[in-house]
Amino acid sequence: MRELGRLPRNVEDTGEGVVIDVRDLRMRYGSVDVLRGVEFIARRGEVLDLLGPNGAGKTTTIEILEGFRMRSAGEVGVLGVDPARGDEAWRARVGVVLQSWRDHGKWRVRELLVHLGRYYAPYGTPGRKRPYDVDELIETVGLGELAGKKISSLSGGQRRRMDVAIGIVGRPELLFLDEPTAGFDPHARREFYDLVHRLADLEDTTILLTTHDLDEAEKLADRILILAGGTIIADGSADQLSRRMSTKSEVKWSWDGQSFVHSDADPTQFVRKLFGQYGEAISDLEVRPASLEDSYMSLVREFESGREGRAARKFEEVVG
Amino acid sequence: MNPSMAAVGAGIRRGGIELRQTLTNVQDMWNYVFLPTVFLVVMYFLRGHKVPGTDFSLGAMSIPSVIGMQVAFGGLVILATVLIIEREDGTLLRAKATSNGMLGYLVGKVLTVSGMSLVSLAIVLVPGAFLFEGMRLDSLASWSTLAWVLLLGLVATIPMGAVIGSLLPGPRSLGFVMVPTMGLVATSGIFYPITGFPVWLQWIAQVFPIYWLGLGMRSALLPASMAAAEIGGSWRHLETIGVLGLWAVAGLILAPIVLRRMARRESGSSVAGRREKAMQRNPF
C-alpha cells in the first residue's frame, strides 16, 4: 500500500521539481504516536490537499513542514532544506496561512502588507519579483475597498482573505494553507479557488492545504492525501479516489407516488431489472456515482474500525 | 539590499507606525495621562511639604523620581505585557513566519517602548515645570545628564522586560511582576527620600534599576545641593552607571537566549490553544 498512488522512489523523485519530500515521518507526544510513518511527495506547481478526520495529525504534519515544530523521527525536505534547520532565506520562499490569526488589529490593510513586503524585497530575483505589488495583491484577494481600513474592523471572511494576502505577499514558492476558506461566503469561496489556481498555474506555486470540505478538495486539489491513524491511507486525484474506492452507486426512483433509494455495485444491471419488473410505472430515475465524500467516509470508517489491513488491500486491488 | 538591513529598516518603520497608533488611540492616551495626572494633582496639594532637612519642595523632588520610575516601568512591565499579549494574538508567530521578521519585530518594539518612555517623560515634566519651582531646566548639563540616564535606563530595562515577557506563561501571571514592582516603587525613594527608610530596605532597593533611574533623573534636574538628601550625600553617578550597566549586560546576554527559546515554541497550534483557554476563561 505504501507505494501506491505515488511514483516509486527513484532518481526522478529526488531531483528537480520535488518541493516537499516526506519519508517515514514520525511524531510522538509522550506515549502517543500521532504520526507513524507519513510519506508523500509534492512537485512544483502542484496543489495538494491533506484530508483527514480531526486529530489525525494534519496540523502536526503541516507545522513540521513549516518548521514550527520538531519531529520525532523521519526525513523531511522542504524546498530541498530540512525545515528544522531552515534559515531566513528558506523562510522567505515559504508562505504560511494558519487557521486563526488575530494579530495586528490596529494596523491598516495596506499598511501591514507594505510593511511585511519589505522583508522580502532582498530576496527578489529577476524571475521572481519580491514582494508582490501590494495594490495588485489587495485587488487580487478582493480587499480593494478596504485597503485603508483597520484590520480589527474586517469581517471574518475579509480577515481570512487578509491572511491569505499576507501569506503570499513574499511571492512564496510553497504555500501552506490551513483551512483557508473558513468563514467565506460562496462568492468569496469561488474567488479564492480562482486565486489558488492562478498561483499554481501562473506563479508555479506549490500549495499544500488542509480542509474539511470534500467538495472543496475536489475543486482545488490536483492530488488528495488522506491522513488517518497517523499514516497516509490514500494518495491520488479526486477522480481516482472516488472512482476506484467506492464500488457502489446510488439509484433513486419513484413508483406509485413513493420514493426509493438503493445502493448497488452494478447500477446498470439493477436499473434494467427495475424497468423489466415495473416498466413505465417507474419515474424520476436518478443514478449517482459514489462521490468523493462517500469514498472518503467509507475509507476512513473502515480504517477507524480497525480494519486497516482490509481497507488498504482493497485500495491496492483497485488502484494496482 | 542585505536581508538583515532590510529587516532593521522595516523594524524602524514599524516602531514609527506603532508609536503613531498608540498616540492616536484614546484608550492608550488615557493610560499615559491618567496616573501622571493623579500624581501631579496629589503633589500639587502637598506642595507645602519640604524634603526633610532641606527647604526644597517634596513635589519638585518627586518629578524627576517619577520620570525615572516611568522609564523603568516602561522597559520592564510595559514591554513584558506587550510581549505576552502579542504572543497570545499571534503577532510573534507572524514575525516568526516572516523572513527576518523577529529581527524587525524586536527593533520595532525597542523603538516603540523608547518612544513611549519619551512621551511619558514629557507628560510629567512639562506640567511639572510649571507647577513646581526649583528644578534646573535651563542648563545644558541637566539635559545631557537626563539624556544619558534615559538611554542607559532604556538599555538596562528593555532587554530585561523582554526576558520577563518571554518567561511568563500568560497575561494572568503578570501580577507576579506588577505586585513586586509596585513594592519596589514604594521603597525606591520615588515619592519620599530613601534615606528615611531602614537600611536593609535601602539595600534591596539599590539592587534594582528603579532606584538608580530615579536617582539619575534627580541628579539631572535638581540643584546640586539636593544631593545632600541622598545616600552618602552624593548623586553617585559612577554607581548608577555600574548598577544600570550590570542590568544592561545581563539583559543583553539573557534576552536573545530566552527570546529564541520562546520563539521556537510558537506555532499555530500553540496560539490556537492559548486562544481556546482564554475563551474558556472569558467567553465574551
B260 part of contact set with chain A, CB < 8 Å? no
Produce one character per residue of A198-215: b if its CB has 16 or more CB atoms within 10 Å, e if not. Answer: ebbeebebbbbbbbebbe
* Contact status, residue B54 vs residue B229, Cβ threshold 8 Å: yes
- Cβ separation B10–A69 shorter than 8 A: no
Average pLDDT score over residue span A182-211: 87
Considering only CB atoms, A99 lies closest to which of B86, B96, B272, namely: B272
Chain A window 11-50: which residues touch B at a Cβ cutoff of 8 Å? none
Whole-number Å distance between alpha carbons of A83 and A91 = 9
Residue A156 has a pLDDT of 85
- The residue of chain A nearest to residue B275, with distances taken between CA atoms, is A100
- Cβ separation A118–B10 shorter than 8 A: yes
* Contact status, residue B107 vs residue B14, Cβ threshold 8 Å: yes
- Angle, vertex CA A310, rays to CA A305 and CA A311, nearest 5: 75
Whole-number Å distance between alpha carbons of B56 and B46 = 12
Q: For B57-81, what is each residue's pLDDT tens digit?
A: 888 889 999 999 999 988 999 899 9
B38: Cα within 13 Å, side-chain hemisphere:
5
Across chain B, mean pLDDT equals 90
Average pLDDT score over residue span B159-168: 93
Assign residue A41 a region (left: φ > 0; alpha: ψ between -120 and 50; beta: otherwise). beta
pTM of the model: 0.85
Grid coordinates belonging to B185: 516603587
Mutate to test the interface with B, among A62, A101, A150 (most CBs of B within 10 A): A101
The nearest CA of chain B is from the CA of A68 a distance in Å of: 5
- Cβ separation A96–B104 shorter than 8 A: no
Residue A263 has a pLDDT of 83
Q: For B206-234, what is each residue's pLDDT tens digit?
A: 999 999 999 999 999 999 989 988 999 89
Rounded-to-10 torsion of CA A96, A99, A102, A105: 60
The complex scores an ipTM of 0.88
Whole-number Å distance between alpha carbons of B141 and A289 = 88
Q: Say yes or no to pLDDT of B107 above 50.
A: yes
- Cβ separation A98–B100 shorter than 8 A: no
Residue A6 has a pLDDT of 41
Residue B281 has a pLDDT of 67
Rounded-to-10 torsion of CA A233, A239, A242, A248: -150
Average pLDDT score over residue span A32-52: 93
Q: Say yes or no to pLDDT of A268 above 70.
A: yes
- The residue of chain A nearest to residue B13, with distances taken between CA atoms, is A115
